[in-house]
Every structure is written in structure tokens, then in C-alpha cells.
Chains A and B, each alone.
Chain A
């Protein structure tokens, strides 16, 4: 019971952390819609990876393993009832300043709508259009059916299209889709 907490692959974990943490943080930011919540999510995921590093380091694709852990952690976080409380609090602190100046109007509008989507839809479109995973890969990663991936994705896209009727860059062909 009293085994000391030591890094099984100490150097290796640190090297991986330095190289890949920002990728996890970017995905977590898009999943949660908020930098602070994302940081918390990433840290919990990293801690759990650290505890299992002996196993994780032998995985075929450590990055894919980490991404799956992150999404699973996100999924269990949104299921927890306390999440609602946490989210309300998380929305109150200052948004990071760097966001503000570089944002142009259209991106801000799209991003705002994305953050209001249900978590499952958001997860699917982030994995699809940011991580560039295939629908089959997303189904496997999230443990849901291919049909659910398609329906969640098309719902999210329908919501966006309906919310941006006059977006200057959305071409007319959209109407026929």
C-alpha cells in the first residue's frame, strides 16, 4: 500500500509533456470553450496519464491515447452534476486578454455559437474539424456509434448555419446542402 509515488518513466513523461501539452490544451480549449476549465481538464488528464505512464508509454500511439483520455475526462466532467456549478463560476473570471484584440467579428460570432452547443456535439465537431479525425475514428474514440457521430455533427452544423444566415463568407451553395 505504501508504494512511493514516483514517475515510472520520469524523463520520458516530462519530455512528452513538454512536447505535447500545448496540443492537448488547444483541444481542451475548443472542447470546453474556456481556457480556465480547459487547463483544469488538461491537468486532471495529465495526472491520470502520469499514474498509468508505465502502461501509456507502451501504447501504439501515446498522443492518441492522451487525446482519448482527455475526451473521456471531458465526458465524465460534463456528466457530473457539480459541473453546472463549476461552469457558472468559470464564466465569471476574466477572459484571457490575448483573445480580444486579434478576434475579428465573424470568427467571434462562430466561436460564440460553438460554445453554446451541447458538449457532445461540440466534441464531435472539434474532433472532426480541428483534429481532422474521420467519423469512424471519432466513433471509436468516443465509444459511440457512427450514426451518432453523423447526427451530432449534422445537428451542430445545422445550428451554425441557422445562426449565421447573413454570414458574408458562407456561399450560396450552402442553401442546397
Chain B
């Protein structure tokens, strides 16, 4: 007998001599609900960060994902609205977010969102962002796997 045969026999004997309790569908549904709830909370947290950024007057938002490098401000200060101090937020842990991904800023009291030439793009209410767009409350911006909601 080879080690391979011995493994095959051991595996089938171990599983044949063990009782496996079946999982009620209700348990699966409850766990599914918990998983979905956790995912939503994650989105809500990021959305809250975006709300802070949009609500903060003349805010600029930079999104970056690289865990190893320190946060970088969003572009040269000259690009920001005049007199504005940059406020920078970050999205961590998302592979599809570029170092310089998009910015959200204010012009004449109107919030604007602009893709900064990110590799994987940003989506404004489901449409890919090209250039700057007006941002309205309730608009959804997707960056990588993360969805931001303006309020």
C-alpha cells in the first residue's frame, strides 16, 4: 500500500465514522442576513466619510488603497479651489482604487466630482465618470468595490 492509498482510505474512514448535523435553512438565512448586514455597514461607514468630505466646504477627497505607503494629498494644492485647505479621506483595502483616484470639491456652492484619471475609473450613478460632474444629494459614486453616497 502506498501513502496515497493510505490517505484515501483514512479520509473515507474518518468521514464515514463521523456524524454531521445538518444545517436548518433558517440558520443559513440568518447567517446570510448577518453577512449582508456587515457588508452594508462597511459601505455605510465609507459613505459617512464621503458625506463629511462633501459637507465640509471646499473639501477635496483623495482615495487611495496602498497600505504600505503613507497617505498622499490629492494632487497639487494649485488644483484646489482658491483658499481651500485640502481635506483628505482614504479608502483602504480596495484593490481597484488608484493612488490619485477622484476628487470632490465645491465650485460656487455646488459640489463637483471629478475622476483624476484613475486606472479602473469611477462611476457616477452607474455611468463612468469623464471629467467633472455636478454632485447632487443621493448621488452614488462607485470607486473600486466601494460605493459612496452624497448627502
List the interface of chain A (C-beta within 8 A of B): 1, 5, 7, 13-14, 17-18, 21-22, 25-26, 29-30, 35, 39, 42-44, 46-48, 50-51, 96, 98-99, 102-103, 107, 110-111, 114, 125-126, 129-130, 157, 160-161, 164, 167, 169-171, 173-174, 177
Asked if B69 is at the interface of the complex by the 8 Å CB criterion, the answer is no
Kindly supply a per-residue 1/0 record for chain B positions 2-25, scoring 1 wherever the CB is within 8 Å of any chain A CB and 0 otherwise. 111011111111110111111101
Secondary structure dominating the interface of B: helix
Asked if B82 is at the interface of the complex by the 8 Å CB criterion, the answer is no
Establish whether residues A129 and B4, one from each chain, have CB atoms under 8 Å apart when the complex forms. yes
Secondary structure dominating the interface of A: helix
Task: Output the nearest chain B residue to A40 by Cβ-Cβ distance.
Answer: B31
Q: Mark out the residues of chain B between 25 and 39 whose CB falls within 8 Å of any chain A CB in the assembled complex.
A: 25, 27-29, 31-36
Establish whether residues B2 and A47, one from each chain, have CB atoms under 8 Å apart when the complex forms. no
Q: How far is the CB of B49 from chain A (nearest CB, A)?
A: 18
Task: Output the nearest chain A residue to B8 by Cβ-Cβ distance.
Answer: A129
Task: Output the nearest chain A residue to B9 by Cβ-Cβ distance.
Answer: A107
Q: How far is the CB of A171 from chain B (nearest CB, A)?
A: 6
Number of contact residues on B: which range applies?
20 to 34
Task: Output the nearest chain A residue to B31 by Cβ-Cβ distance.
Answer: A47
Establish whether residues A107 and B10, one from each chain, have CB atoms under 8 Å apart when the complex forms. yes
A114: contacting residue among B7, B20, B29, B36, CB under 8 A: B7
- Given A43-B28, A50-B29, A174-B2, CB of A35 within 8 Å of CB of B20: yes
Q: For A164, what are the chain B residues with a Cβ–Cβ distance below 8 Å?
A: 3, 6
> How far apart are the CA atoms of A109 and B144 in the complex, in Å?
48
Q: How far is the CB of B77 from chain A (nearest CB, A)?
A: 37
Establish whether residues A13 and B25, one from each chain, have CB atoms under 8 Å apart when the complex forms. yes
B7: contacting residue among A7, A21, A35, A129, CB under 8 A: A129
Establish whether residues B17 and A99, one from each chain, have CB atoms under 8 Å apart when the complex forms. yes
Q: Which 3 A-B pairs have the closest CB atoms?
A: A47-B31, A130-B11, A26-B15
Q: For A30, what are the chain B residues with a Cβ–Cβ distance below 8 Å?
A: 11, 14-15
Establish whether residues A51 and B18, one from each chain, have CB atoms under 8 Å apart when the complex forms. no
Task: Output the nearest chain A residue to B14 by Cβ-Cβ distance.
Answer: A111
Task: Output the nearest chain B residue to A109 by Cβ-Cβ distance.
Answer: B10
Q: For A18, what are the chain B residues with a Cβ–Cβ distance below 8 Å?
A: 22
> How far apart are the CA atoms of A170 and B33 in the complex, in Å?
49
Establish whether residues B4 and A5, one from each chain, have CB atoms under 8 Å apart when the complex forms. no
A-B contact pairs, 27 of them (CB 8 A): A1-B40, A5-B29, A5-B33, A7-B25, A13-B25, A21-B22, A21-B23, A26-B20, A30-B14, A39-B20, A39-B21, A39-B23, A43-B27, A47-B28, A50-B32, A96-B18, A96-B19, A98-B17, A99-B17, A103-B17, A125-B7, A126-B11, A160-B3, A161-B3, A167-B6, A170-B2, A174-B2
